[in-house]
Amino acid sequence: MGVLAGRTALVTGASRGIGRGIAERLGRDGARVAVHYGRNEAAAKETVAAIEAAGGSAFTLGVELGSPGDAEALWEEFDRHADGLDILVNNAAIGNSRPIEEIDEEEYDRLFAVNVKAPLFLAKHGMTRLRDGGRVINISSGLARTAAMPHNMAYAMAKAALDVLSRDLSKVLGPRGITVNSVAPGLTTTDNTAEFLSTEAGRAMAEGISALGRVGAVDDIADVVAFLASDESRWVTGSWVDATGGSLT
């Protein structure tokens, strides 16, 4: 029996990358996992297949975030599969933004709709479904607090806003024993970063900013999330957890 046996988790953006790693880890720990995807149904089904192959249970939820009513639509779909929730992982996000000289209002609005508005309203409409003693885990970024990277300004701004959601929502849900935390990855090997990390200069830069001298792996982040999803993290809430491999030191 896994430490999360009998619990239900929802991971947004779980068809690939860090989200998929989190979903697979929670599944191995015994949770039944709702694997959310925006467009790539085939990849989400691969995540479900991987969870089931490891002995777990999972199902897909296909709702594109970033439009009015997206949170309600996701929860309506969720309700067809489950009657309550124990763990909400807000992972889905647009992973970068153009520099201030190039970004336009449409890109900015879309970024904040997916990275900030959707998590807030998923939490708002999910509170009635979230059982007492549950967990909310928001996937932030080291860029929210690290040295400025102006070329990715709007993305960093959105992740900083997500951290405020974690801090303040922890006060709202705390009386029910529900913890809320942010996990902040640094540069992590995913399909989004593969091109950059495939170059000698890119990998050297990523390794050089980490105190541990290597690039982060998806499992490094998933393990931190698994801790926060477990009973062992019961006294940790409203926190920003540095999962950058010491890239901020």
Residues 142-162: tens digit of each pLDDT: 999 876 678 889 999 999 999
Residue 210 lies in a domain: no
For the stretch 18-52, pLDDT in tens is 999 999 999 999 999 999 999 999 999 999 999 99
Q: Which residue has the tokens 């039944």?
A: 32
Q: How many domains, in total, are found in the chain?
A: 1
Instruction: Report the pLDDT averaged over residues 89-98.
Output: 94
Q: Which of 37, 78, 121, 155 does the annotation list as catalytic?
A: 155
Q: Is residue 246 part of a domain?
A: no
User: For the domain that residue 54 is a member of, what is the CATH number?
Assistant: 3.40.50.720
In a domain, 42, yes or no: yes
Residue 15: inside a domain: yes
Asked if pLDDT for residue 117 goes beyond 70, the answer is yes
Name the pairing type of β-strands 179-185 and 32-37.
unpaired
Q: Is 155 a catalytic residue?
A: yes
pLDDT in the model for residue 147: 63
SS3 77: helix
In-domain check, residue 97: yes
Per the domain annotation, does 243 fall within a domain? Answer: no
pLDDT at 82 over 70: yes
Domain range enclosing 167: 8-189+217-238
Q: Which pTM was predicted?
A: 0.95
Q: Is residue 74 part of a domain?
A: yes
Please count the other Cβ atoms lying within 10 Å of the Cβ belonging to residue 101.
7
Q: Is 139 a domain residue?
A: yes
Residues with Cβ within 8 Å of residue 10, at least 6 apart in sequence: 33, 34, 36, 61, 78, 85, 87, 88, 89, 126
